[in-house]
Structure formats: structure tokens, C-alpha cells
Structure 1
Amino acid sequence: MACYGFSPFCRQCFVVIGVSINLSQYGMVFGFTGLLLPQLQDPASSVTIDQDGESWIAALPSLGLLVGNMIIPTIMGNLGRKRANIISITIMTVCWSCIIIANNLTTILIVRFFQGVSLGMVNSLSPIVIGECTSPKNRGAFLTTLSLVLSIGTLLVHTAASFLSWRETATICTAITAFDLVLILFAPESPSWLAVKGRYNEARNVFRWLRGNDEDEEIERIIEASVVTLRETNAKSNSFVLNIKRTIIDFHRTMKEESFYKPILIAVHVYTLGTFSGVNILTSYVILITKEIAGSEINMPIAVITLAVQRLITNAVAVVLMKKVKRRTTLILTTIMNIASLFAVAGYDLAKTCNLFENSLLGFLLLHILMFSISLGALPLTFIIIGELFSLKYRSISAGLSSTSLSVLFFVTLKTFPCLFDNIGLYGTFFLYGCVLVYCLIVLWAFLPETKDKTLQEIEEGFKSKSQNVELKVLRPLMDSK
């Protein structure tokens, strides 16, 4: 661990910076797509692609995301959050280095896949690390920084690639990931993971190093929950056959536990909302969409950079707001704005396509309004809510399962967008996205709880049945006596 002599808040910042820079690769990888494709389309490019190759370059990281989401629960659960973070950023550093020297489409596609693997790992990992290592009063703002660094990553590659070649841009990204690897090496392990592994004294020490001495009640409640889990694990027989039977019974019982399936169902709908908000295609197909709405006469580098800057500024505003406003209320209001913006852009594009009305400035303004609604709501709140939902007992597997849905959604939106654009136009695509958001809004309105200023243990107990909470209350005096 590092940062001795600093306040608990500064130490939490140190942990957040390490995992946030790793997650900023999301913005870099998918933002890189939007500027890589036009450069590869240049006849003078050393690497040639066709339309099918373009869609695979954009969508292939999403398949890697699926693999990353599948392996990260095991890595997080067995090796710990810190080692999982190190593995993820190491893969990304190697991938950016390979892009620098890539001289054919096959190499680029392979690298893009493994970039997705790294992103799939950090996608599940980052909100969990921040949720477990930061104080409830700061957790919302810290989780919002995840969307902020996403925007910073997007702005960085959009700006760099507007003036530099894709190889030079990849060089900059390599340097950033290498720096982050050094930071992560000095970060502490998650106290929650240490508690799950039965390393209670170490968990208390790390928790107090991160939080100070004013929040001891939370670590004691985490340890209580871990004791229950370890007691159940140690009670199992060593017989292979009996363990198989017990595994099947435990799986069936787990699937019926409200603290397991409810957060996952909510997380899937939150991810669906975030994916169909339009942020992915506005990042990966920014030039195509901007040309469609504002016309080819617009100064494209300036247009792309201004959208990225606006996204960054709005995310920064969201960081401040998340410390003051309720999560659930903000998500509902910004989603309504998001839906209205999608329908507005769709309506304008339809009028433009039918030669009824056209105003480049108005079209570009509508894109900015859409980006504003996304950056203020769906983008930051996805990370905040996901980081707060899952119970300690099932945190690794829950994050992996829910993030798998994100991978599928990413692939579907990025791979199908060119086809949808060609067949039903941008207006039809955005209208479809808006309808999906309406469905997600209804579900989340009904089932999403308020999580602001609650500890992770309080949120978990809110999902549990009464019998599970009674068990913890009975155990608590026994732990206090020890």
C-alpha cells in the first residue's frame, strides 16, 4: 500500500484513480473506432478494409467483453480485486503496443478482441472496487468518475486521431496504460475480499487505512456476513458426489434468493438503458451520424471534439450532482430527457430525409442535447447503480452475469447499427432505441430502490428476505462477544 500520511479521502482517491484510468480504456477503445475507420478507408492506408471489416472492427471488442465477463468472477473471487486489475491493464498495454505495429486487418481484429477481454474484466471490476473501498458519503461521486474517465478517454482519442495517425494515437494510449499499471501495483486489496477469504485482521487494517476509524461498524457487518458464508462453505462434505448434489441444491436455492436475482435483473435493465441510450454508436460511429444530421460541409474535427468536450463537461457536472441528488429520481428524469432527445433527432432526420425541413445548426444542436442527456444520466448512473447493487456473498458472480448482458448488448448495437442505418435510416434506428428506453424506464421505475447514502450492507439487506436478516441479527451478538 502507498500514500502513508495522507487522509482517508486521499487514499480512496488513489485507489479510484488506478481503476478509473483502466476503465478509461473503454472510451479510448471505442472512441478509437470512430477515427480509425475513416483513416483505414483512405486509399493510401497501409491496411485496407471493406464494409464488413468496418463493422467487425467496431463490434469485435464486444465479443471480447463477453469472454472477459465470463472469466472475471473466478479471477476476482480467487485472486482478488487487485490482481484482477493488474491482469486487465497488462492485457490492454500489450494490445495497444500490437496496434502500433499492426500491418494487416487480421492483426487489428485479433487485438480488438483481446482489448474487449480486458474491458470485460474491468467493466465488472471497477464499480466493485470503488464500492468496496470508498465511504458511502463519497461513493456516488467516485462511481460517477467512472463515466467521467470514459469521457476523458473518448475526448483524448478523438482529439489525437483528428490530428495524428492511428498508430501515433495508439502510442499515446500505450503510455497511459503503462503508467496506470504502476499505480495499480501500489494499491491495496479490497477489504471486502479479504473478509470473504477469512483474513479478518488484514481486512480491518486495510479498511481503516482507506476509511479511517469512523466507519468501523461497516467492516464489522461485512465480516459478519462473511462468517455466515464461510460457515456454510466449511460445513460441506468432502465427498465428490455429495458436493455435486449440494452444488445443484445450492444453485437452485441461490436462484430463488431475492438478494441474488433481484439485483441482477435490475442491473440487466440498467445496462440495457445505458447501451440503447445512444452513447455507444455516438462514440464508434460519430462521423457517420454527424454527417447524416449536420451534413458533410461541417468541420468534422471540430464537431467531433466539441461533442466529446460537452460529454466531459456534463459528466463533471454529474460528479457534483451525485453527491446531492437521489440516484433513482435522477435516473428517471434524465431517461425521460434521453427518450425525448432520441425521438427529436429521429423526427428531424425523418423530416430531412423527406425534404420537409433541414437546418444543419439545429441538427447538430439536437445531437448535443442527446449527448447532454446521456452524459448527465445513463452514462454516470449506470456505473453508480451497478457498483451499489450486488450482495457481498454473490458480488463476483453477479457482476459477471450482469456484465455478460452488457457484452451482448454492446455487440448487438455496434454490429447491427450499419445494417439498421442502411435499411431503416437513422430516424428508424433512434426511434427503436427510444422504444427500448421506454420499456427500461417502466421496469426501473417499478423495481429500482434508492441507494444514496446507504452502506453496501444496508442495500444488500434491503434485497434480502426477512429470514436472512434475522440470521444476521442473531449472529451479531456472537461476533460482538468475540
Structure 2
Amino acid sequence: MILKPGIKQAIYTFGVQMNMFSLGTASAYAGTLGPALSEPGSGFHIDLKMVSLIASMPGWSGFLPIILLGPLMHFAGRKTANICLSVPIFCGWILTYFAAEYNSISMLLAGRFLHGLPMGAAYFISVCIAEFSDPKNRNNLLGFKPITAVLGVALMHTMAYYLHWKHMALVGAIPPALGFLITLFWPETPEWLVSRARYEEAETVFYSLRGYSKEGEHELMQMIECEKDRRKFLSDNQRRFAFWKTFKSPILWRPIAILFFALLVPVMGGRHYLVSYSVHLGAQLSGDKTKGYFYTVLSNGIAIPGAVLNLYLLKRFSRRGVLLGTGFVGSVMLAVACAMLYIRTIYPSEALSYSILGVFAVYYFLANCGFYPVSYILMGEIFPLEYRALGSLIDGLLSALGMALVSAFLPWLEIAMGTYGVLLIFGCIMLISLIYLYYHLPETKNRSLHDVGDYFRGKSPKIRRVGEFAFNADENRSILEVDK
């Protein structure tokens, strides 16, 4: 049976979507694991320092795939890289299960270390999805990426009510196993084949994935011609070290800066710490320590429809509009919540506690339908082909460092400054990042990856009109301009 191009794109990208699902399960697992291990009779004796280490371990291990996947995806290909990613993630969940069986904190930390691999692979996942999909389907396939993460979070939080944490680990092993099996049937992506000068194979895979169209033919020819031109200016000896010589190019550092600030927005906006410390933060925000788990599950009920709504927003509005519009509104809501939390320390009130929860519920919905997913969608679209592996490596290191530091020091910051103080600082950093993006982020919607790369090469405008679509930050327009 011959599958339609759109179905092929969906099936192939499902192989990496499963690793994104694992990112959600790993993030949420810390929120239920810490309280479970602290209970009497758990077999483990841990303090605040160990809770912090368990929660932040995936952030630190995220450095490993960031360092290895860049060169691996560049030299060995996307298929080999995803296989090398899925197998250790699966092993991490199995180790966690046996840690419970033998009450071994060492095995538990080793398992948590391997849980963090998809966190360092978020760039790689975005690149694979973008390269397997055409510009029209890319919007939905990349938009589905955060939904899989949210579903992973919801699954873990829901299972915490019914399953022991060791049995949750067995369920967590299923997604990477599925991802591994699907990847075995992958072809290599056309972009990688072009970068290795395997043009005939690239053409075969390209039309197999996309079907034939004049726009697709033009995109493929541009991609091949650009690679041929690049090779003309490189001798055989220079080409061997070209991966490292790109380090000095401004064409590399401009998208790195943009993507760094784009990822600071969700990191400072709570994408990870609101999940990892969900039970504790739920109790802090509500003022009722007995309801931490309830508010955690409630947050999942908010996040899932928000992530689904994001698919509609991305289809209706520009990437810039959704990111900047929801981001600026979200930063204002964080400031309001901080003020309310501070007032509650002076004038305790049950009504005020419910108001704070209401503000955060709206904020969390806004974040999941706006700046959370869009920031991660940009991972697969920003870098030009020749800088994609090295750029993903550098930006991944910076992002993982930020996430690990936030997860590790959040308990101590909260003790020193209070929840309102921590959220105020994070909100200010988020606002500064959004201002930078307003002036520097190009629009990527409905543009081929080659065309986006040409913007950084100085050959394409920041905003390119496609049909009736347009969004230009330099013009006096609404931040949420609609495709009319």
C-alpha cells in the first residue's frame, strides 16, 4: 500500500514525538517522585538536598545529548541519532523500576540521569520534524510537539493517584520503545542527504515525503544549488573541518542569540519548574498543603486544551504574533500574581488564595496555547542547514544550563525570597527576552527552511509575504495580525 505524503510525514515524525512524550513524563515524574520518597515507609531517607538533586538530575544529563547529538546528526544522520537517543531513555525507566525493587538511590539517580536525555534533545526533535515535513504540514506537526509533552505530563500526574512510582516507570518505558521501532523504518531526511552530497537519494526521499509540486521542486533545487555553491569554495581539506570553522560566522551566532532568548521565555515562564515542583508550588499558591496533588491534576486539565488551541492560533496568526502577544500578556499576569502573593503574606485571606489560583490558571492556559509551544517550534526552523548541527549544540548547552540551574536552585531561592520574589525575577527576565525578540525574530510561518536560512545569510527579508499572509514588526500593525 502506498501512503500519502502527509501520512508518511506524520508517521515518521511520530518516532521523535515519542521522545518528546518522554520529556513530559520525565518532567512530571519529579513532581510525584519527591513527595513519594519523602513518605515514611518509602524505603528511602532523603532530605531537601537530595530532593533538589533528583529533580535537577535530568537537567544536568541534558548536556550529554546536546554535546553528542550535534556531531552525530551531522556525520551519521538523523536516523542513527534518534536510535542512539531512544535506547538510553528506555533503559533509564527500567533502571528506575529496579531502583524501587532494591531501594537503591544510586540506581534511581542513574535512571533519572537517563530520563533527562530528551530534555537535551528538544532541538534535535524539532529539526527532525521540520526536515520531514513540508512548510504547510510543518505548522501542525511542530505544533503537535508540545501537545505530546503535555500529554506525558498529564499521564504521569494522573497515574500518581493509582500506581506506585515503580510501576509508573514501566509505563514511562513504553514511548521510547515505540519511538525506537518507528525509527528503524525511517529514510534519512532530504536535508541531511543534500549536506552529504547524495543528491539523487535526496531527490527520491524528498518527493516520497512531499509528493511532486512546483514549489517543492523549486525548494529542492535551491537546497541543492546552495550546497553545491558552498562546496565550490571549500577544498577537500577545508570541507573536512568545515563543521568547526563555522563557529566564527555571524550567520551562526545571530540565530543562536534569537533562539536563546526565545527559550528563556518558557524557562523563566515556568515551563519546567511549574511541572517539576508542581505539587509543592500548588500547595504554596493555594495556601493548603493537602491540596498539592489536586491542583497538579487541575493544571493538566488546563494545559491540554491550551496546547490544542495553540494549533488553531498557529494556523490563524503569525508565529511572532502568538509568541509576543501571549508573552507580554503573560509577563503582566506574573507581575499581578506576585503582587497578590506578597499581599497575602501581610493579609492572609482564603478569597485571595482562590484569586491567586485563578490568575495562575489563566496564565498557565495562556502559556500553553501561546509562548510555551511557539518557542520550541522555532528550534527546528531558525538555523540554516550548514549551521544546524553546531547551532543546536551551542544553544542546547545554554538552554540546558539554564533549565538545570533553575530546577536546582528553585527550592533555595524560594526559601530566601519567597514564591513571589522568585516569580518576580523570572518574570523580569522573561520580559527582557520578549523585547529582544520583538526587534530580531524573523517570521517563519509558511516559509521553507531554506528561505528562513536565507534571512540570516542576508538574502531574504525578515518578513516574507505568502499569499495574503503578512506580519511585520517594523510596520505600525497589531501584534496579533490575522491572516485575512
2: CA distance, partners of 1:297 / 1:115: 28
2: CA distance, partners of 1:356 / 1:33: 30
Q: How far did residue 47 of structure 1 move?
A: 2.2
TM-superposition CA deviations, 1:400-438 (whole Å, max 9, x none): 111111101111110111011111000000000110011
Alignment map for 1:177-256 (pairs within 5 Å):
177-214=176-213, 215-236=216-237, 250-251=245-246, 255-256=248-249
TM-superposition CA deviations, 1:326-371 (whole Å, max 9, x none): 0111111110121022112212211111125442322221221121
The alignment partner of 2:302 has SS state of: helix
The alignment partner of 1:201 has SS state of: helix
Map of 1:341 onto structure 2 = 333
Alignment map for 1:17-166 (pairs within 5 Å):
17-102=14-99, 103-120=103-120, 122-166=121-165
More helix as a share of residues: 1
2: CA distance, partners of 1:71 / 1:330: 32
| Maintained 8 Å contact 1:196/1:230 | no
Map of 1:295 onto structure 2 = 287
Map of 2:423 onto structure 1 = 430
| Maintained 8 Å contact 1:331/1:377 | yes
TM-superposition CA deviations, 1:121-178 (whole Å, max 9, x none): x212111011111111121221111111110110011111122111010011112321
| Maintained 8 Å contact 1:64/1:117 | yes
Question: Are 1:272 and 2:226 counterparts?
Answer: no
The amino acid that maps onto 1:161 is A
TM-superposition CA deviations, 1:13-42 (whole Å, max 9, x none): 112211111111111111000000000000
1: CA distance, partners of 2:24 / 2:311: 17
Map of 2:438 onto structure 1 = 445
2: CA distance, partners of 1:124 / 1:387: 7
1: CA distance, partners of 2:153 / 2:82: 21
Q: How far did residue 378 of structure 1 move?
A: 2.1
2: CA distance, partners of 1:29 / 1:345: 28
Map of 2:172 onto structure 1 = 173
Question: Are 1:404 and 2:397 counterparts?
Answer: yes
The amino acid that maps onto 1:5 is I
1: CA distance, partners of 2:318 / 2:13: 22
Question: Are 1:462 and 2:416 counterparts?
Answer: no
| Maintained 8 Å contact 1:274/1:378 | yes
| Maintained 8 Å contact 1:65/1:117 | yes
Q: How far did residue 318 of structure 1 move?
A: 0.3
2: CA distance, partners of 1:187 / 1:77: 16
The amino acid that maps onto 1:332 is L
Map of 1:312 onto structure 2 = 304
Q: Of residues 329, 347, 350 in structure 1, which corresponds to 2:342?
A: 350
TM-superposition CA deviations, 1:237-274 (whole Å, max 9, x none): 69xxxx88x998x45xx5243x2111111011111112
Map of 2:314 onto structure 1 = 322
The alignment partner of 1:44 has SS state of: coil
1: CA distance, partners of 2:43 / 2:206: 52
Q: How far did residue 452 of structure 1 move?
A: 1.0
2: CA distance, partners of 1:440 / 1:237: 37
Q: How far did residue 78 of structure 1 move?
A: 1.1
| Maintained 8 Å contact 1:314/1:372 | yes
2: CA distance, partners of 1:297 / 1:237: 62
The amino acid that maps onto 2:83 is I
Q: Evaluate the alpha carbon distance shift between residue 51 and residue 356 of structure 1 in structure 2; reply closer, same or farther with a 3 A threshold.
A: closer
2: CA distance, partners of 1:302 / 1:357: 20
The amino acid that maps onto 1:277 is G
The alignment partner of 1:6 has SS state of: coil
The alignment partner of 1:187 has SS state of: coil
The amino acid that maps onto 1:323 is K
Map of 1:476 onto structure 2 = none
| Maintained 8 Å contact 2:191/2:202 | yes
Equivalent pairs: percent with the same residue?
25
The amino acid that maps onto 1:119 is M
Q: How far did residue 191 of structure 1 move?
A: 0.9
| Maintained 8 Å contact 2:31/2:275 | yes
2: CA distance, partners of 1:86 / 1:180: 8
Q: How far did residue 385 of structure 1 move?
A: 1.4
Q: Which moved more, 1:296-305 or 1:91-100?
A: 296-305
TM-superposition CA deviations, 1:215-245 (whole Å, max 9, x none): 121112111122233334444369xxxx88x
Structure 1, unaligned runs of 5 or more: 468-482
2: CA distance, partners of 1:232 / 1:82: 29
Q: Which moved more, 1:181-190 or 1:195-204?
A: 181-190
Q: Evaluate the alpha carbon distance shift between residue 445 and residue 104 of structure 1 in structure 2; reply closer, same or farther with a 3 A threshold.
A: same
2: CA distance, partners of 1:47 / 1:196: 51
| Maintained 8 Å contact 1:195/1:222 | yes
1: CA distance, partners of 2:360 / 2:162: 23
TM-superposition CA deviations, 1:269-319 (whole Å, max 9, x none): 111112101121110001111111113266443321121121011001101
The alignment partner of 2:253 has SS state of: helix
Q: Which moved more, 1:289-298 or 1:431-440?
A: 289-298
Q: Evaluate the alpha carbon distance shift between residue 340 and residue 298 of structure 1 in structure 2; reply closer, same or farther with a 3 A threshold.
A: farther
Map of 2:413 onto structure 1 = 420
1: CA distance, partners of 2:104 / 2:337: 37
| Maintained 8 Å contact 2:19/2:118 | no
2: CA distance, partners of 1:284 / 1:44: 23
| Maintained 8 Å contact 2:95/2:110 | no
Map of 2:463 onto structure 1 = none
